[in-house]
Structure 1
């Protein structure tokens, strides 16, 4: 089997997993979330990852999320899944992804243990080599790599990308200088728009966007302005949208997920604010503050790009 060893670039879409009041998954809303991302120009979808409450999804739901995503995507953009946690579960998720012809997967950190470098290497290598699908490693939490570890992993052809969620710029410069275009470099920091200017300067030309789930026009205008050197537009978007949302997100652990659902609910997408424990829903005062930011974003920026 010949596999195209490419990875999506630019702004990556990370749909949520919408929940009903009883915390069952609302697959109809999930498919509408994915369609919204594609309609608004995101060139890939990463399902059942951090924003999709990967930690709280069982095996049956995981497979259904894959099936429902393929139904709506219809080969228009690449689909990546999240795999990780316990090694046995990660291998099962990788197998399911291969079974359903997914393009690749993002490898999330191992469960609980903070491993040694040879342990991290073994964990990632085992998952990467378990299928012929493209793999992206995600540096965060219990999975922090040295340059030597990443170099060894880069010898495996299935590895196509590196996503950073730690924010150690010195280390990231070492990585990009040593490996160059061998990997796609993805900014995976919370609300990645905040740090993207720094990441872009060291070779990271791609990022995952939480706000694209509800105000994709803002993320698109921001990235276009950044790439074109329009510093005044970047500054305006920081002041009006990005930093105010970032400040709300910092108020509570778990808002990296629940704040996305709140934003989608505010703009009228069919997504309720329900989240599975241990994540908590957004508090009403923070919900109201986010609504004010979104109102300003629509008034000031949506018409420019025909945004929804």
Structure 2
């Protein structure tokens, strides 16, 4: 195996566990449960996550974008990551989110270490524009201060060139890249520039829409926001995609995923708040989103309910009654 300086992979490493997980299931990005008043609800989170992980995702990424990382303080983050590690119980890798500037990112990284997470996903930094050398240095600073392996996330202000990717992969502890830009020409160049064994996965919003295109450039693994509220649908799509069942893939895309994306694109932040609303429609104990996100109003909620029922019908599942809390 050709490895660049700083990049390591072995049969018992997190890299191998993640690669195996990516091949066997979607990557789960769970929601974080809040009460109606906006307080963290760890009891409900544990109940929700237990059901989610019982469906066998390839890995679980708590306190990331779908989990409203930016809305959590350090104590809440600790509680979420600790609960996730306990519930996962070694069955799958736990990759916790971290972010902001490198100094604050290290505070979260050390909490994740103490909670026994397996790795970290470095979320895009806050607000500032920066040259690529600074983007690499940001990750290098985080990597130098934690024993946990890192996956970088390029989205928003973070974009790597092939040269930047080579520099990133040479940082000790950096094991992969999550892509949220969906620039497949650039992504193909990045995969060709990377060392053998470096991990890539599709992190586009509603990644299933572009899963076939990503697979065509050598990136078949993807995160699934749909898994956060309908693991039956996410699992059926994953199985059909891996089996080259184009009829099922096409039906799910046309009748469920595309309408969901069209609704998602109506309002900023719906990539998270629609997911949480759909979970509540299924009676899952996740509560509302935290500001600055907003929950959908009655009209959009009615559309979401129809889309959800259609998707569940396509895979032979049922929504079930909404449980009051």
The answer to whether the superposition gives a TM-score over 0.5 is: yes
Specify whether residues 74 and 241 from structure 1 end up closer, same or farther in structure 2 by C-alpha distance, changes over 3 A only: same
Matched, 1:292 2:309: no
Which residue pairs with 1:278 in the alignment? 292
Specify whether residues 237 and 152 from structure 1 end up closer, same or farther in structure 2 by C-alpha distance, changes over 3 A only: same
Q: How far, CA to CA, are the matches of 2:150 and 2:137 in structure 1? A: 15
- Aligned positions of 1:125-204 closer than 5 A: 125-179=140-194, 181-204=196-219
Which residue pairs with 2:4 in the alignment? none
Q: How far, CA to CA, are the matches of 2:122 and 2:129 in structure 1? A: 15
Q: How far, CA to CA, are the matches of 1:71 and 1:234 in structure 2? A: 34
Matched, 1:25 2:40: yes
Matched, 1:86 2:101: yes
How far has the Cα of 1:141 moved from its partner?
1.1
Which residue pairs with 1:258 in the alignment? 273
Partner of 1:105, secondary structure, is strand
1:14 to 14, 25, 29: 29
Whether the 8 Å CA contact 1:18–1:26 is kept in 2: the answer is yes
User: What per-residue deviation string (whole Å, max 9, x for no partner) do you get for residues 142-195 of structure 1?
Assistant: 211111111011123411111001111111010112226431111000000111
Q: How far, CA to CA, are the matches of 1:240 and 1:157 in structure 2? A: 44
User: What per-residue deviation string (whole Å, max 9, x for no partner) do you get for residues 45-89 of structure 1?
Assistant: 101100011111111111111222223222222111101112221
Q: How far, CA to CA, are the matches of 2:161 and 2:64 in structure 1? A: 24
How far has the Cα of 1:16 moved from its partner?
0.8
Whether the 8 Å CA contact 2:32–2:45 is kept in 1: the answer is yes
Whether the 8 Å CA contact 1:240–1:296 is kept in 2: the answer is yes
- TM value normalised by structure 2: 0.89
Q: How far, CA to CA, are the matches of 2:298 and 2:196 in structure 1? A: 45
Q: How far, CA to CA, are the matches of 1:33 and 1:128 in structure 2? A: 31
- TM value normalised by structure 1: 0.93
Partner of 2:98, secondary structure, is strand
CA RMSD of aligned residues (A): 1.7
How far has the Cα of 1:120 moved from its partner?
0.6
Normalized per residue, the structure richer in strand is 1
Whether the 8 Å CA contact 1:80–1:106 is kept in 2: the answer is yes
User: What per-residue deviation string (whole Å, max 9, x for no partner) do you get for residues 228-264 of structure 1?
Assistant: 2111111111112111111111110001111111111
Q: How far, CA to CA, are the matches of 1:271 and 1:102 in structure 2? A: 22
Matched, 1:44 2:59: yes
Partner of 2:315, secondary structure, is helix
Specify whether residues 180 and 230 from structure 1 end up closer, same or farther in structure 2 by C-alpha distance, changes over 3 A only: farther
Aligned length: 302
Whether the 8 Å CA contact 1:33–1:213 is kept in 2: the answer is no
Structure 2: segments with no counterpart, 5+ residues: 1-9, 319-325
Q: How far, CA to CA, are the matches of 1:263 and 1:181 in structure 2? A: 39
Partner of 1:292, secondary structure, is helix
How far has the Cα of 1:99 moved from its partner?
1.9
Structure 1: segments with no counterpart, 5+ residues: none
